[in-house]
Amino acid sequence: MACDLIVGTEERVDLIIASESACAGSLLTAMTALLEARGGDVAVRLLCTPAKLDGRLVREYAARRRWIEVRVARIPLFVAVIADRREALVIADSVVGQKASLIRSEGVVAPLLNLFDGVWRNSVAVADQLDFGDAARTETARRILEQLRAGNTDEASARDLAMSVRTYRRYTAEIMSLLGATSRFQAGVRIAELGLLPTIPR
């Protein structure tokens, strides 16, 4: 049903993939098939959680600005398809199992679309995956990300990482540029939103 809704889209499809549901993978497959078959005449917005971020899709489509925008946010666990702002399918888990609702009422689709738009505005845009180069630089970047998340000073971070403050600041500037962040605080938020580091146990 969800795949049929995507295939039948005429102009625009908005997707929320935030669930471990088996249909999530088939929806992404249907969406990429639609993009290829239609050659860009359908606009796609994909909103997902860090765990459901599809790196291949980002590299092949979003990074090359090919027909799709991908954003990451912390959102409730469900799957939704909104086709042409007119029809929607919502799939969510419940205590009695997975439930799917096909919605064709404008009075119900409109609030769902408003919810999507609100989350979209406050989500993190993903133009491509962070690429730090070789393995050594990637490990250094991971350790600097941890320092940024912890909110440590440059001096303390450089000391912990056994590098000069100047080198630490150069790496930090590169990482912030890749994250699209203009402040250390914003970098910390984006690190969390993109799921670049494991969650700290409480």
> What does the pLDDT look like over 157-196, one tens digit per residue?
999 999 999 999 988 888 887 777 778 777 777 776 666 6
pLDDT band of 55, cuts 50, 70, 90? low
Identify the pLDDT of residue 58: 63
Highest mean pLDDT among 20-34, 85-99, 179-193: 85-99
Neighbours of 86 (CB within 10 A): 17
Q: Give the domain ranges of the chain.
A: 2-125, 135-194
Identify the pLDDT of residue 116: 92
| pTM for the model | 0.62
Q: Which of the four CATH numbers 3.40.980.10, 3.30.870.10, 3.40.50.170, 3.40.47.10 does domain 2-125 have?
A: 3.30.870.10
pLDDT band of 128, cuts 50, 70, 90? very low
Q: Is the CATH number 1.10.10.10 carried by domain 135-194?
A: yes
Phi/psi at 46 (5° precision): -115, 125
SS3 per-residue string spanning the chain: CHHHHHHCCCCEEEEEECCCCCHHHHHHHHHHHHHHHHCCCCEEEEEECHHHCCHHHHHHCHHHCCCEEEEECCCCCEEEEEECCCEEEEEEEECCEEEEEEECCHHHHHHHHHHHHHHHHCCEECCCCCCCCCHHHHHHHHHHHHHHHHCCCHHHHHHHCCCCHHHHHHHHHHHHHHHCCCCHHHHHHHHHHHCCCCCCCC
Mean pLDDT for the stretch of residues 112-139: 72
Mean pLDDT for the stretch of residues 26-51: 77
Rounded CA separation 70/90 (Å): 19
